[in-house]
Amino acid sequence: MRNIIYILFFMVALVNAQTKMSNAESAVLKTKVKAHATTINTLLSDFTQYKHLDFLSNDIISSGKLAFKSPDMVKWEYLKPFKYSVLFKNDKLFINDEGNKSDVDLSSNKMFKQLNSLIINSVKGDMFDDNEFDIAYYKKEANSEVHFSPKDKEFSKYIKAFHITFNDEGHVVELKMLEPSEDYTKIVFNNRSVNTPLSDAIFAQ
């Protein structure tokens, strides 16, 4: 009997590895992340991307570098297993696909503009917009995990939720984008450096 209780207790503990935050805790986290986000002028980070499709045996793994320069330049560069980069700059999207360059004018494209600001906000972690998202806060071991579910019906057809994991300093360590089908893209950041001077050459296309 005692064993059963232990097992039950252990199961409950497992389920609770991710527990809901109290209002006070979520307010502290939000303040911390927002304060950190406003100090970010530049950001450089390595990333590893895991594309999870339920029917595959393994996640599809790719990796590269992310560079951000305030207010709105972002370069998302894949280095393995292929070379591919997208650069958001001056209302344009520049694509470099293994040397083949192209660009898309975003000034008239609302969806791409939204995407750009979404990428910037998610990288900084500051997506705390109650008009745009239903937001839920969780504790996950030493980290925090916040779930942002888009309120916009059109948008939620593509992305059901963003799950952002913050470390105890309020920095984004993981970004997960979930599709309505439960398939997801998980991006894990490492070797992150904030406010180191980035030359414009990084953002040249």
* Binding range to another protein, per CB under 8 A, among 3-11, 16-24, 141-149, 175-183: 175-183
Q: Would you count residue 143 as binding another protein (CB under 8 A)?
A: no
Rounded CA gap, 194 and 45, in Å? 9
**Of 152 and 168, CB closest to another protein:** 152
Q: Does 102 bind another protein (CB under 8 A)?
A: yes
Q: Are 36 and 171 in contact (CB under 8 A)?
A: yes
SS3 132: coil
Residue 126, amino acid: D
Q: Which of 70, 143, 185, 205 binds another protein (CB under 8 A)?
A: 185
Give residues 42-71 in contact with another protein (rule: CB under 8 A).
49, 51, 53, 55-58, 60, 62
DSSP assignment letter at 203: G
Cβ atoms of residues 175 and 162 within 8 Å: yes
Q: Peptide bond preceding 180: is omega within 30 degrees of 0, i.e. cis?
A: no
The verdict on 79 binding another protein (CB under 8 A) reads no
Give the interface segment with another protein, choosing from 28-36, 75-83, 133-141, 194-202 (CB under 8 A): 75-83
Planar angle of CA 47, 52, 54, nearest 5 degrees: 175
Question: Minimum CB separation from another protein for residue 19, in Å?
Answer: 28
Q: Smallest distance from the beta carbon of 95 to another protein, in angstroms?
A: 8
